Structure 1
Amino acid sequence: MVLRPLLAAVLLFGPALVARADEPTWTRRIIAPDTALKAAQAALAECRKRGWQAAVTVSDPSGLALVTLRDRFAGWHTLEAATGKARTAASWREATSTLAARLARPDAAERAIVNVPGVVMVGGGMPIEAAGQQVGAIGVSGAPGGDNDDICAKAGIEAVAADIAF
C-alpha cells in the first residue's frame, strides 16, 4: 500500500525533476534599452573627453541595434561601422579586435567571414556580458584607430557593469 502513493508521486513529479536538453523554450537575459542608452552615452562621453567624434551602437545579443548615437561631427560612415562592429561582436561573441587579429593570420580557417555582408573586422566592437552570459554588444567607430574605439567601448561597458550584474 505504501508503494501506490510513492508511485503516484514519481509519476506526477518525476518529469519536473529532470532537466532535458530538448526543452521547447529557454530563458535569456538581454540588456534593456535604458541600460543600452546609458552604455552608449558613457562610450560617447569617453570619446568626447579624448577629443574624438564617434558613433556608438549598443545591440541585443543577436546583434540587432537597441540604441545608436552619433556625435555632431562624426562622419556618416561611423554609423554603419559602429552598428557593424556591435553586430559582429554579438554574432561571434568576442571583441572585434581579437577576431580581426585571428583572421589576419594567413592560415586562419575562418577567413571567409570577412566577406559576409555587414561584418566589420576592426577594433571597437565588444560583447557585453554579465555572469558569464552575453546580454548585448557595443560598437564604437570614429576614434583614430580600432584600439581607441576599444577604449570608448570599454568605458560604455564599465558604466553599466553594476546595473547588469546578476
Structure 2
Amino acid sequence: MKRPTMRCLPLLMLAASLQANAQQDGTFTIKALTPDTALRAAQAALDSCRKAGYQVTVAVVDRAGLLQALLRDRFAGAHTIEVATNKAWTAASFRTSTAALGEETQPGKPMSGLRTLPRFLAAGGGLVIEGGGNTYGAIGVSGAPGGEADDGCAKAGIKAIADAIEF
C-alpha cells in the first residue's frame, strides 16, 4: 500500500473540513433572554405606565411566543392579562409590531385574513425585542388608553434591557 503524497494532503484536509461543516449544519444555536432580563423588561414597562398613571399588564415572551414574564398592576383589568400576552405572542410570531400589523391587516388588505387566527391581536402595544442581530422575543402591554400609550411603555421595557441584548 502506497503512502499518500504531499499533493493529496490538501485534498484530504478539504474533505475533512467539508465533513465537519456538514455535521454543524444539522443544528443551530440561538440566544435567548434570561428570566431575569425578561422580568427586568416587564418591570420597566410597568413602571413607565405607572408614572403615566396607567394600570397595565405586561407580558414578555421568548422568540417562540412562550411566556417568560407577566406582571399585572393592582387595578389593571382582568382582560389585560390575555391581551398583553397575545400582543407579545403576535409580535414574536410575525416578527413585527402589532401596531404595524394593525395597519397591514385592515379589511380589504391582502393580509386581512390573519385577523381570524387564534391569539392574533393587531393593536398597538406589542413590540419585538431585538438586539445585536438577534430576535429574542417580544413584549406586550395592555391597559393604557390606546395602542400608542401601550407602545410607549413597551419601548421603555426594551430600553431598560438594551445594554444586556446589544453586542
- Check whether TM > 0.5: yes
3-state SS, counterpart of residue 3 of structure 1: coil
How far apart, CA to CA, are the structure 2 residues paired with 1:117 and 1:5?
A: 58
Alignment TM-score, normalising by the size of structure 2: 0.92
How far apart, CA to CA, are the structure 1 residues paired with 2:22 and 2:142?
A: 43
Question: Deviation at 1:19?
Answer: 6.8
- 1:13 match: 17
Within-5 A mapping of 1:128-139: 128-139=129-140
Structure 1 residues 26 and 149, CA gap change in structure 2 (3 angstroms)? same
- 1:96 match: 98
Question: Deviation at 1:43?
Answer: 0.0
Q: Please list the CA deviations of residues 84-142 of structure 1 after superposition, one character each: whole Å capped at 9, or x if unmatched.
A: 000000001010001101112x4311111111111111000000001232111000000
Within-5 A mapping of 1:11-160: 11-16=15-20, 23-104=25-106, 106-160=107-161
Question: Deviation at 1:15?
Answer: 3.1
How far apart, CA to CA, are the structure 2 residues paired with 1:60 and 1:90?
A: 7
3-state SS, counterpart of residue 154 of structure 2: helix
Q: Please list the CA deviations of residues 28-73 of structure 1 after superposition, one character each: whole Å capped at 9, or x if unmatched.
A: 1111110000000000000000000000000001111100000000
What's the C-alpha RMSD, in Å, of the aligned pairs? 1.6
3-state SS, counterpart of residue 126 of structure 1: strand
Alignment TM-score, normalising by the size of structure 1: 0.92
Q: Which amino acid aligns with 1:9?
A: M
Q: Which amino acid aligns with 2:60?
A: V
Taking only the aligned residue pairs, the percentage that are identical comes to 48
3-state SS, counterpart of residue 90 of structure 2: helix
- Larger Cα Rg: Structure 1 or Structure 2? 2
Structure 1 residues 110 and 45, CA gap change in structure 2 (3 angstroms)? same
How far apart, CA to CA, are the structure 1 residues paired with 2:144 and 2:22?
A: 47
